[in-house]
Chains A and B, each alone.
Chain A
Amino acid sequence: MAEYEQIDFDVVVIGAGGAGLRAAIEAKQRGLRAAIVCKSLLGKAHTVMAEGGAAAAMGNVWSEDNWKVHFRDTIRGGKMLGNWRMAQLHAQESPDRIHELEAWGALFDRTNDGRIHQRDFGGHRYARLAHVGDRTGLELIRTLQQRAVALDIDVFMETKILRLLKNPSGEVSGAVGYHRPTGKMMVFTAKSFVLATGGIGRSWKYSTNSWESTGDGHALALWAGADLIDMECLQFHPTGMVWPLSVRGLLVTEGVRGDGGILRNSEGQRFMFNYIPEVFAAETADNEAEADRWYEDHINNRRPPELLPRDEVARSINAEVKAGRGGPHGGVYLDIASRRSSEFIQRQLPSMYHQFKELAGVDITKEAMEVGPTCHYIMGGIRVEPDTAASTVPGLFAAGEVAGGLHGANRLGGNSLSDLLVFGRRAGMGASDYAESRTSVTTVDSTEIERIIDEARAPLAREGGENPYDLQRDLQETMQNLVGIIRTGSELTQALSEIDALKERVPNVSVNGGIAYNPGWNLATDLPSMLSVCTMVTMGAIERKESRGGHTRDDFPKADPALGKINFVQRINGSGECVVTPEPLPEMPDELKALLEEGAH
């Protein structure tokens, strides 16, 4: 019989990035017994990688800014596919969430009058990103981590969750996992659970994401019967490093462009002027002089095309390289050296300076960076009720990247960090309300627990099977080549059959070594999540026969207005099959629709 330790809480949060920490803080402040379970050490979650800032319409730099403009930018940037209520809550509540971080010790960069400074970013009409140089994610996670420690929240570090458990009435009541350093099996029971596990980028070969981003939360929710939406909407960040190969995919912050950096092709041409889409034409400069004036005067000039939303810029770079106008390593040039002083660059972009200097031997104050698109963020995710962050399964909540809806088909830079804070808090509130009013038992089935444990341990007992790293590599090749930035029907179908073939290989995975801190075994237990999630992304991509935001179909190059009103809902049906169902988007109230209609200024 499998042995395990069982611990009970009111609210258990899975994931310790910004959303997970903020959710747990909320539950703990309510006086509940809250715990955080996370795959890495506390403070190492992927949130630390966020560079540019957190978008919040505080109006500190441009007093014209307010939540209505932020709402409009978010919905338009998301190509009209976003959930209006989430976008409204996000735009309205972000400023309070940023100010709250200051009361917990955060030190943001300041304006001359001592308020929080805000920087320009793509798709945001005004300078709106609260930031600390280009290490805003670190500031955010450290502040929340220190707050969580001050509140004495229980944290189970380096603990991977394998499956969620339901009680006989179908409410999520437990989670089974293991402690990576010892391999000890753990069962957490609680009245409610919050998933805050982040993204899925590990399944692509070139990605900004860490090893943790294996889509665990998406898969846990799916397996528990929850709905996902729009998983085909995946963001490729336009600017990742391309050389040396070992750092290919590493993030180069949009802050470089926000602070004046421009994109050129191998012929020296500032090519983004050739790629301004109709929908953004009224607010985008069509000549270099106007674009350059904009940095000083946002009111009388239109924004540079380098600051179009990320999907537009990523596709444009891709097209330039395909047309033979790329650099020697398959990227284009991002140049801030010729545009800003060395002192300015080192003050505003210290970690970029550092990163290129140490990893590529490039001094970004003297020469251009070579950059190209890299898998960065999933807009789709767990379907949630906007106000409470409740999933479609009772007792289960979700916030942050793992939740879908806010960003529609494309996320604006800076909207992720504020998303974490706004919906992390709301998930904490929703989960706390649920826990306080829940009367049913959190009984979990020990037979099921034992089955999950046996299945997880099986690769350790098997001999002569496949190396889990080989499966991971093959999956990454498939997703990179067939479900990448530009997609086509036949390749997507091929991807689906390749993923199915990979699933067949999973039961034959074997790992040597023991159960304590064994990365090979840890990867073997991540593979089922990765494969489930990749299936959903691919199936959604097959169904969405149009190009919208982060989802671009070569065979359907235009947006289809009818599909712009459709969420693709993805779930496992009663017979255990993955299915995709189109459902109409929630109807936006007229007063919010009116905000979208307003002119460019």
Chain B
Amino acid sequence: MAEVVMRIWRGDSEGGEFQDFPTQVSEGEVVLDVVHRIQAEDAPDLACRWNCKAGKCGSCSAEINGLPHLMCMTRMDTLPTEEPVVIAPMKTFPIIRDLVTDVSFNYEMARRLPPFAPKEPGPDGTYRMQQIDVERGQEFRKCIECFMCQDICHVIRDHEENKEHYAGPRLFIRYMELESHPLDTNDRRELLREEMGLGYCNITKCCTEVCPEHIKITDNAIIPLKERVVDASYDPVAWLGRKILRRTKKTATEAANYRTDPKTVKASQ
């Protein structure tokens, strides 16, 4: 048992302040356990999100002592207890209440992403893919959408105005996942350059450092995406290849306009 003060931000979009909760910590507890105990005993209206309590759903993201963490995966015994443990909501998103923020920016950016456009399946109606070819995409599909990479990214953390035209690391790994997907046929490279602000990222790797799934966001997604976008726009060899193959690169608008039409989808029997 250790004595510790939890300093938790309380308030809403109008403003607020930190409130101290002195508490006892038992062996093996994580930050979320302590927050739950405060809820149950002292402040039933203390707002926080959580679901799985096992690092799998990405709901309980917060800034613990100044850095984004999942509250359910941060053990109390890894934090200094001489000073209060400071828990604040993610800064990049508007506050709803206490530790809960409005993360709808991320859902909006997901909505603006041109969806998966698969090629035709094989003669038996199924697809063949090799393990080595799916592994790149699988790394990005480990993402639990905690949005901590979005929170730490200075492009939107310090510049609200960039949110209009910057998809952010969470979505960049989704673009890279589709870019490397063995079955996808859409070409979103111009869209990434023109409307999703890929160029704003100056590869400081903050996103990679906070990723609870240890996805190499910068090295395996953002940098390769930047290379592919540059190739698409300026590489003379690629340009020549397109000429010879008479294949035109999709413009941002063409990529964006690819939508799934529910009526034309082959009804699955």
Residues of A participating in the B interface, judged by any CB pair closer than 8 Å: 28-31, 40-46, 48-49, 96, 99-100, 102-105, 107-110, 113-115, 117, 132-133, 135, 137-139, 142, 146-147, 149-152, 181, 210-212, 243-247, 250-251, 351, 354-355, 358-360, 425, 467-470, 473, 511-514, 516-521, 523
Contacts and interface: CB of A to CB of B under 8 A. Distances in A.
B50 A468 contact: no
A511 B121 CA distance: 56
B177 to A, nearest CB: 8
Contacts of B51: 40, 44-46, 48, 210-212
Given A49-B54, A359-B28, 14 more contacts: A40-B59, A41-B49, A46-B52, A49-B57, A102-B126, A132-B138, A146-B115, A151-B262, A181-B96, A247-B28, A469-B39, A511-B44, A514-B45, A517-B98
Contact of A110 (B27, B44, B131, B183): B131
Contacts of B33: 246
Nearest to B106: A41
With most chain A CB atoms within 10 A of its CB, the pick from B56, B75, B127, B131 is B56
Contact of A149 (B46, B50, B115): B115
Interface string B35-69: 00001110011111111111111110000000000
A354 B126 CA distance: 33
Nearest to A139: B141
B195 interface: no
A225 to B, nearest CB: 31
Nearest to B130: A114
Contact of A44 (B41, B59, B263): B59
A298 B48 CA distance: 48
Interface in B115-137: 115-116, 118, 121, 125-131, 134, 137
B28 A245 contact: yes
B209 interface: no
A44 B57 contact: yes
A211 B60 CA distance: 13
A246 B29 contact: yes
Interface residues of B, number: 68
Contact of A135 (B50, B56, B126, B131): B56
B134 A115 contact: no
B228 to A, nearest CB: 19
Contacts of B111: 149, 152
Contacts of A212: 51
A358 B73 contact: yes
Contacts of A138: 56, 141-142, 144
Given A48-B57, A513-B44, A360 B28 contact: yes
Contact of A512 (B12, B45, B98): B45
A517 B11 CA distance: 11
Contacts of B12: 516
A30 B143 CA distance: 31
A356 B170 CA distance: 26
Given A103-B121, A354-B55, A359-B28, A142 B45 contact: no
Contacts of B73: 358-359
B267 interface: yes
Contact of B47 (A246, A473, A517): A517
A30 B145 CA distance: 29
B100 interface: yes
Contact of A48 (B52, B121, B127): B52
A24 to B, nearest CB: 11
B204 interface: no
B45 A150 contact: no
B234 interface: no
B268 interface: yes
Given A181-B102, A473-B40, A519 B47 contact: yes
Contacts of B125: 99
Contact of B129 (A110, A467, A514): A110
Contacts of B267: 29
A110 B134 contact: yes
Nearest to A49: B52
B53 A250 contact: yes
A28 B262 CA distance: 7
Contacts of B107: 42
Contacts of A355: 54-55
Contacts of A152: 111, 259
